[in-house]
Amino acid sequence: MARISIKRSFKLLWNLPKSIPFGIKLLKDERIAFSNKAIFLSITLGYLIFPYDLIFDIPFVGRFDDFAVFMFMFNWFVNRVPKHILKEYGWNS
């Protein structure tokens, strides 16, 4: 299971320009549980807005934790979307 998760994480990172519109489409899809959308958005946006970070804002390194939290939560969100919906949007896992 961990191997699949890491593989998906790299796929999301590699295809980031395509993953963002994909994520927006998933957020708009009414078949996906509202609770999953709310958890994803609240944790991601909350962490980005919250003034205290895990790593202080040192140039480049300070933004890594923001990006890492976003990628972790995006991967978490995609893992909770039913497989048939992912296939409908052209996501091959």
58 confidence band (pLDDT: 50, 70, 90)? low
Domain contains 53:
yes
Average pLDDT of the residues in 52-73 = 71
Confidence (pLDDT) at 72: 87
Domain contains 93:
no
Q: What is the pLDDT of residues 26-44, one digit of tens each?
A: 999 999 999 999 999 999 8
Number of domains forming the structure of the chain: 1
Confidence (pLDDT) at 33: 95
Whether the Cβ atoms of residue 65 and residue 53 lie closer than 8 Å to each other = yes
Choose between 37 and 60: higher pLDDT. Answer: 37
Domain, as residue range, for 75? 2-88
Domain contains 73:
yes
Whether the Cβ atoms of residue 74 and residue 40 lie closer than 8 Å to each other = yes
Domain contains 42:
yes
Domain contains 41:
yes
